[in-house]
Amino acid sequence: MLLPNVRVTRLRPDHADAMFAWMRDAEVSRNLGLRNEPSIEKTHDWIMRALEDPQVCAFAIELDGRHIGNVVFDHIDRYLSNARLSVYIGDAKARGTGAGFTGMYLAIRDAFANLGLNKIWLIVHTQNTRAIAAYVKLGFQVEGLIRDDFRLDGQLVPTLHMGLLRRDFEKLSVAEAST
């Protein structure tokens, strides 16, 4: 179900403190595959670079006005009209509430409308079943399985490469996305 109290806004430098705290959360860092120790300086610098980079469009997901996670489009390729999607819900209390799904839906709708994209793609490790289910519900299709592509708890696991075409997203009604 799409939640009426969720919105997406452009990521801003004042979001850095929450993002830094989330990067130290074991579940977030585990699923993102962080390789380096996070710091508030690195987080702030990433936001500032993202704001200046034409190949990045980063959103904050807000639930009742509270920043709970991020949706990022990067590797924006204007020639191929595609971009990579990354998303996470950092606020543990907001996970499993539907806020992440609503935030993704809103950000994807905005990206297709305003970035001129034809395709949004992503990579997700196969153990992240909750994320995969949300992606499928949004219309993403598996386009490939890459073996031993992500290190999770010391083990190499496969990843799925998934893609969503604009025409498939446009066929998805809000009612379908809400079920």
pLDDT tens track for 137-172: 999 999 999 999 999 888 999 999 999 999 999 998
- Written in H, E and C, the secondary structure of the chain is CCCCCEEEEECCHHHHHHHHHHHCCHHHHHHHCCCCCCCHHHHHHHHHHHHHCCCCEEEEEEECCEEEEEEEEEEEECCCCEEEEEEEECCHHHCCCCHHHHHHHHHHHHHHHHCCCCEEEEEEECCCHHHHHHHHHCCCEEEEEEEEEEEECCEEEEEEEEEEEHHHHHHCCHHHHHC
- pTM of full prediction above 0.85: yes
Domain boundaries, the chain: 6-178
pLDDT tens track for 50-96: 999 999 999 999 999 999 999 999 999 999 999 999 999 999 999 99
What fold is seen in the domain 6-178?
Aminopeptidase (3.40.630)
